[in-house]
Amino acid sequence: MNATYRAMQVTRPGVLELVERPSTAPGIGQVLIAVEACGICGADVGDIEGADPALQPPRVPGHEVVGRIAALGEHVSSLWKVGQRVGVGRLGGSCGECVQCRQGHFQLCQHQPFVGATCDGGYAEMMLARASGLVSIPDELLAEEAAPLLCAGVATFNALKKCGAQAGDTVAIFGFGGLGHMALQYARRMGFRVVAVGRGSDIAEDALNLGAHVYIDTHEEDAATTLKEMGGAHAIVTTISAPVAVSALMAGLAPQGCLVLLGAGKDPLPVSTGHLVVGERSLLGSITGSPYENEKTLDFSVLAGVRPRIEVMPFEQANEAYQRMKSGDVKFRMVLTIARGHATARPSTRDDDLSMGARHP
């Protein structure tokens, strides 16, 4: 193990600084990861802009981390080996002792760190992680491909699994960005009738190519009315947190339909209780997922040919990459590469064959 490693830390709110830190051996139940790639997620904005300047040392952000185990701490399960490809998502590893863990709801553990927020993340050459938060990475995925799946992938995959819709049902995806572009792919391959809801005609072609059967442009038509004319959506998965826009779209839910919230915010969501009660409609919040659910997401992605659309930049250009993500100037996920040469698969070059959708009407 080298004596030092490089990291991008939040020296002051909104600013990433390249520094050299002393290496630390993993403690009990921890592993040391040699990071190969780390995605830049929208949730990183809160971690970077809202950083505590009094925190010493300053926090290293990043929670879509892929690399190889460089060292094992004591009492780490024999499941994990030095050199093994692993990943870590937003949830940094359950405690195994709280009520939620004892019930098997590891994603709801009350004592796990949030990677990049309450513990250091993956904008670094090395990273310490709880072994209970590790995800095994399939050989078929490049590190750069796997990284966004550890957050955007598992969040949308799990939301669709929980939404209650069955194959052939209409499912609407509200918001077309880092999360939405993954949700469209998963929804199409799960057998749903997929409706993408977005703003502007410029994204229609991308939405249809990624899996939507129908694209609704909210600049041109009322999305809720259009959904009702289609028979209503059995589920709406919203990746945005704008309460007014989300509330307006709820009118497009079919009876017994479910609105699944992925976009998290502090503002209250206006809800018509009559609309919920009379049609037996429901609201559901969905967090990312446990390591096991993350592995299911990765396996399904390999099986069904789902890949994030990414732009890659060197680790040293994290500030520029972060600013591009924050401005929305990315299609669709930004990934930092920290170490090269360990990939065991080639990036897919095939064109997506799901381009038979059409704009509504």
Domain ranges of the chain: 4-136+309-337, 154-287
Q: How high is the pLDDT of residue 56?
A: 87
Q: Is residue 34 within 8 Å of residue 5, measured between CB atoms?
A: no
Tokens of 353: 């064959």
What distances in angstroms separate CA 259 from CA 10, 27, 109, 360, one per listed residue? Answer: 36, 42, 24, 21
Q: How high is the pLDDT of residue 339?
A: 66
Residues of the chain with pLDDT under 50: 340-361
Q: How high is the pLDDT of residue 34?
A: 97
Q: How high is the pLDDT of residue 346?
A: 37
Same fold flag, 4-136+309-337 and 154-287: no
Q: How high is the pLDDT of residue 349?
A: 35
Q: pTM (2 decimals)?
A: 0.91
Fold classification of 4-136+309-337 is: Quinone Oxidoreductase; Chain A, domain 1 (3.90.180)
Q: How high is the pLDDT of residue 266?
A: 82
Place of tokens 């993954």: 182
Residue 132's contacts (CB-CB under 8 Å, 6 or more residues apart) are 29, 93, 94, 95, 96, 106, 112, 291
In angstroms, rounded to a whole number, what is the distance separating the alpha carbons of residues 211 and 188?
5
Q: Which amino acid is at 346?
A: R
The vertex-94 CA angle with 92 and 96, nearest 5°, equals: 160
Q: What is the CATH number of domain 154-287?
A: 3.40.50.720
